[in-house]
Amino acid sequence: MQSGSYEFNSTQEKLVQALANKMRFVSFFLIAIGILRFITGIVALIRGAPLIDAIISGIIILLIGFWTYTAASSFNRIVKTQGNDIENLMNALKELRKLYTLQFWLFIIVLIAIIIAIIASIFTG
């Protein structure tokens, strides 16, 4: 162990490895769903059906899948390497921050849209 670095013990590494494995599994499904959704939107657009929402949701799901995979890879490096546990942990947290920042803003947008819809329905009767 290098001076000034921290290494997780075997119990902690088992927890981190289990998390990384589950995250990687989920990321594969998210990426596949994102690709399918995106392709569905493109095909529909080519055929004249404006499925822009499918394209946008496909991109969002792809981003979430990619960031989940990248975070899982950083968590996996905690277990597989020596001397860089904190750096790998911070890299995983950066990817998770991207994922949750995106979700945060999407929820804010949805809440604003709901409030606008409620106000509009009140005034239009």
35-59 per-position pLDDT tens digit: 999 999 999 999 988 889 999 999 9
Copy the structure tokens of residue 26. 């989920």
DSSP symbol at 5 = -
**What's the whole-model pTM score?**
0.84
The mean predicted confidence, pLDDT, of the chain is 93
- Please count the structural domains in the chain: 1
Tell whether 117 is covered by a domain.
no
Tell whether 80 is covered by a domain.
yes
Tell whether 112 is covered by a domain.
no
Q: How many CA atoms lie within 13 A of 76 on its CB side?
A: 12
Tell whether 105 is covered by a domain.
no
Parent domain of 65: 10-96
Tell whether 123 is covered by a domain.
no
**H helical segments located in 1-125:** 10-46, 52-80, 85-124
Copy the structure tokens of residue 34. 């994102």
Tell whether 29 is covered by a domain.
yes
Q: Alpha carbon of 73 to those of 16, 77, 111, 117: distances in Å?
A: 11, 6, 33, 41
Report the C-alpha gap between 117 and 112 in whole angstroms: 9
Tell whether 43 is covered by a domain.
yes
Tell whether 107 is covered by a domain.
no
